Amino acid sequence: MTDSLSRAVAIVEALEGVIGKAAARLAGAPASEDDQTVPYDIASMSSAVAASRHLVDRGPHSEAEADLALLFAADTAADLAGRLVGRELLWGTATSALDGACEHIAAGRAPEFLDAVADRVLAAGGEAAPGHLSDELQLVRSTFRDFAEAKVKPVADGIHRHDEDIPESILDGLSEMGCFGLSIPAEYGGFADGGDDELLGMVVVTEELSRASLGAAGSLITRPEIIGTAIARGGTEEQRRRWLPRIASGERLCGVAVTEPNHGSDVGGITTTAVRDGDDWVLNGVKTWCTFAGRAHYLLVLARTHPDRAAAHRGLSLLVVEKPSFPGREWDIAQDGGGSATGRAIHTLGYRGMHSFEVNFDNWRVPADNLVGLDEGLGRGFYLQMQAFANARLQTAARAVGVMQSALELAADHAAQRPVFGHPLTSFQLTRTKLARMAAHIAACRAFTAAAARAIAAGDGVLAAAQVKQLACRSAEWVTREAQQLHGGYGYAEEYTVSRLFVDARVLSIFEGADEVLALRVIARQLGKGGSTGTR
């Protein structure tokens, strides 16, 4: 064990002790709806501590990874200490809990130590840390990186600037490569085989595509991931055989319609209704933030099928709405019986290419056999949706890692070439500190994403998926901000890719579970169920 790794282990053990006591306090005195500030901090820090543990577990692979583990653990300890001071009683512990690790924290925050880490980052061209992939997955990474470099990167900035549609060349290429079937069981035309690492392929592909562009490629897997998971787990055998092979092949593109104008994270309160009328369900309501709803052939719609709104989330079901694929920012469909569905894209500051729509259903008829699970699926929509969101949160964390990796590479390259006061920007200590810390955040999130993928595949990943999503998405905002700052005025110009990465990263903490909702309603509640910290 290297000196850096032994120090990192000591810090992580101290951090886990603090989070363990905080979790026990949450378990002993569950927070009320009005008590949010401290539970949010505890939840957020538990995510960082869990990532620290997973990065430490990779430390034995190399001295470079041991150094990154020490850096990230020390930064996490400093953050935790700042949140703990003055609120010790509310956390159920004291700041002295970190006293035994102070020497190690100081070593991990020493400017000369960060300087040495920055040397490696610059020598590696901004690559944060290896993924420790099997030969098969390394081939997958190389294949999709080559595709992203050749087909996505050349058009990514233009798609963003002009808010264009994703080109058919990208969609067709990814279909041919099997991109949309990565998490669909092999028996239905996908590539998932049920092994411990079955989700790692999806993580690797997502990271590489997001490294090129979040809006033009990296997010294309998310909707097939959500709808495919819901159908595989909750659909009938006939539905699985009808829909999944066409999703896996890319023949049918997908969108998801859950959020409503007045009901975002409060899914249980949605008002879109589906009323049975003979052989159809009649759908009425407005959905918003339906990404890719124009190009999609299948929309997974969460609707209220129980007439009593007091049933809340227990009265919701999932329907697959089949529609033509439309390019552009507007679409309008009329049914023979008088029903209609319309979509209007919402202008956004980033995450462009896929377009996010507001969709209005007016007496739109859906065949009864398009309700996921048929009679057994009635009232199960919320639960199926939440199960699917665990996979989507993992995929979003991978998207964040890809965006961060791209930002670090651009920052390292620009800093090496940019002269300031007669010296390269990389010769200044603060620049090097920024690059080192950026690399540590990426390495921690990459390690945690791989661990969460295995936990989800094993059927026990609800907490890990929420934690890694929350951490990686917040980290992406910070990393892209630092990368933009290192570009100076150029970072604010649209002609520089880093400006796109910065605005794209901002959406990550909002969708697939907003940061605050994940912290309070998923992570804090899971921590309160017995004091588990999620680090193992």
Q: Give backbone dihedrals phi and psi of 422, rounded to 5 degrees, phi first.
A: 85, 5
Amino acid 475 reads S
CB 255 within 8 A of CB 299: yes
Provide CB contacts within 8 A for 153, sequence distance 6+.
212, 213
Rounded CA-CA distance 527/536 in Å is 13
Residue 335: both structure tokens together: 């049914």
Is 512 a residue of the active site? Answer: yes
Amino acid at position 437, single letter: R
User: Catalytic one among 168, 482, 512, 516?
Assistant: 512
Separation between Cα atoms, residue 429 and residue 485, nearest integer Å: 15
Q: What is the largest CA-CA distance in the chain?
A: 78
Number of H helices, E strands in the chain: 18, 10
Nearest to 472 by CA among 515, 503, 433: 515
Of the candidates 536, 513, 441, 505, which has an alpha carbon nearest to the alpha carbon of residue 46? 536
Among 217, 212, 134, 132, CA closest to 177: 217
Spatial CB neighbours of 43, under 8 Å, sequence gap ≥ 6: 470, 518, 519, 520, 523, 524, 527
* Cα–Cα dist 317/227, whole Å: 13
H/E element holding 262? none
Q: Does the CA dihedral 524-529-535-536 come out positive or negative?
A: negative
Half-sphere exposure of 498 (CA within 13 A, CB side): 26
Among the listed residues 55, 200, 192, the one whose alpha carbon sits nearest the alpha carbon of residue 138: 200
Burial of 398 (0-12, 13-18, 19+ CB in 10 A): buried
Distance from C-alpha of 284 to C-alpha of 274, rounded to nearest angstrom? 7
Cα–Cα distance for residue pair 133/290, rounded to 1 Å: 34
Angle between helices 111-123 and 381-417 (to 10 degrees): 90
User: Which are the contacts of 137, defined by CB distance < 8 A and separation ≥ 6?
Assistant: 131, 197, 200, 201, 204
CA atoms of 178 and 168, how far apart (whole Å): 15
Active site residues: 512
